[in-house]
């Protein structure tokens, strides 16, 4: 398809397990963002990639969160030793822009709903 | 003070009514996104604007960059417009967005 694709759509894990969430951005999009959206709240920035380079990871809440985009296309967000507070929708967005241009639209995936039991 | 404030938080309207959602923000420089989020999580970008007004179908967005204020209007509202509407200014070098908490709109038939 032409949009941003995320998988799985839903993920249930037991506390302490590791999880991996996948994002397929729109082909050719240079910039890729991960956001975390807790129930009833707006999304919050986690990390940003420009091609394969992770230029900003200031939003990652702890060192249990790790993201990669090794070939500059598909990205994986990994959460180690999950905790209940990690339960949220994880959104991926991509945009075409290469430079710090603020009028670049971001295209969102449908998100992965993560539930930690 | 929150970086992005939206009002109202919840809005219920009858089909056909004119809707206005307001956004005030203290971050970002020159642009703002309006997003629509339906139940289940999917987010759709409605507008990205940096000045004046944009119109798409029944949706109109206006922005005043100097005052850091934007409004989203929906004319002739319809039940399918029911969703959460979020304003989000991009900030910083990466253009990651700061999101408002959203306005939950319910349009009744």
Tell me which residues of chain A have a pLDDT lower than 70.
Answer: 1, 98-104
The residues, any chain, with a CB within 8 Å of residue B14's CB and separated by 6 or more, are B77, B107, B108
Report pLDDT for B1: 53
Write the pLDDT tens digit of every residue in B16-66. 999 999 999 887 767 788 999 887 767 888 888 888 899 989 999 999 988
Say if the Cβ atoms of B43 and A91 lie within 8 Å: yes
Cis (ω within 30 of 0) for the bond into B96? no
When pLDDT is cut at 50, 70 and 90, the band that residue B104 belongs to is very high
Asked if B33 and A106 touch (Cβ cutoff 8 Å), the reply is yes
Q: Which among A10, A42, A60 is the top mutation candidate for probing chain B, defined by the most B β-carbons within 10 Å of its own β-carbon?
A: A42
Report pLDDT for A56: 87
Report pLDDT for A106: 80
When pLDDT is cut at 50, 70 and 90, the band that residue B6 belongs to is very high
Mean pLDDT over the full length of chain B: 88
Counting every residue written for chain B, the total comes to: 109
Nearest residue on chain A to B95, judged by CA atoms?
Answer: A102
Report pLDDT for A99: 47
Question: Which among A102, A106, A107 has CB closest to B29?
Answer: A102
Say if the Cβ atoms of A89 and B41 lie within 8 Å: yes
Q: How far apart are the first and last CA of chain A?
A: 33
Q: How far is CA B82 from the centre of its chain?
A: 13
Asked if B4 and B23 touch (Cβ cutoff 8 Å), the reply is yes
Write the pLDDT tens digit of every residue in B17-27. 999 999 998 87
Question: Which among A37, A100, A111 has CB closest to B95?
Answer: A100
| Structure token pair of residue A65 | 């969160």
Report pLDDT for A100: 46
List CB contacts (< 8 A) between B44 and chain A: 108
Report pLDDT for A25: 96
> For residues B106 and A43, which has the higher predicted lDDT (pLDDT)?
B106
Compute the average pLDDT of residues B74-100: 85
Mean pLDDT over the full length of chain A: 90
Q: Calculate how close chain B gets to A70, using CA atoms only, in Å.
A: 19
Say if the Cβ atoms of B97 and A101 lie within 8 Å: no
Residue % of chain B over a pLDDT of 90:
53
Report pLDDT for A67: 97
Say if the Cβ atoms of B94 and A42 lie within 8 Å: no
Contacting A residues, span 27-86, partner chain B, CB-CB under 8 Å:
31, 33, 35, 37, 41-45, 48, 50, 55-56, 59
In this complex, is the C-beta atom of A94 within 8 Å of any C-beta atom belonging to chain B?
no
Asked if A33 and A47 touch (Cβ cutoff 8 Å), the reply is yes
Q: Which among A4, A31, A44, A103 is the top mutation candidate for probing chain B, defined by the most B β-carbons within 10 Å of its own β-carbon?
A: A103
Report pLDDT for B50: 82
């Amino acid at each position: 398809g032409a949009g941003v694709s995320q998988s799985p759509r839903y993920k249930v894990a037991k506390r302490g397990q590791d999880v991996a969430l996948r994002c397929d951005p729109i082909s050719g999009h240079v910039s890729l963002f991960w956001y975390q959206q807790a129930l009833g709240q707006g999304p919050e920035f986690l990390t940003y990639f420009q091609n394969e380079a992770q230029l900003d990871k200031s939003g990652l809440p702890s060192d249990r969160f790790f993201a990669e985009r090794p070939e500059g296309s598909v990205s994986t967000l990994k959460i180690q030793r999950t905790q209940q507070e990690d339960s949220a929708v994880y959104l991926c967005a991509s945009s075409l822009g290469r430079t710090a241009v603020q009028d670049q639209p971001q295209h969102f995936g449908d998100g992965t709903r993560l539930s930690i039991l | 003070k929150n970086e992005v404030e939206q009002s109202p938080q919840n809005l219920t309207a009858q089909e056909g009514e004119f809707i206005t959602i307001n956004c005030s923000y203290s971050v970002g420089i020159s642009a703002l996104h309006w997003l629509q989020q339906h139940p289940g999580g999917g987010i759709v970008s409605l507008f990205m604007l940096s000045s004046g007004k944009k119109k798409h179908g029944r949706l109109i967005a206006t922005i005043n960059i100097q005052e850091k204020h934007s409004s989203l209007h929906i004319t002739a509202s319809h039940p399918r417009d029911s969703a959460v509407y979020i304003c989000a200014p991009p900030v910083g070098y990466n253009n990651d967005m700061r999101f408002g908490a959203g306005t939950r709109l319910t349009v009744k038939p």
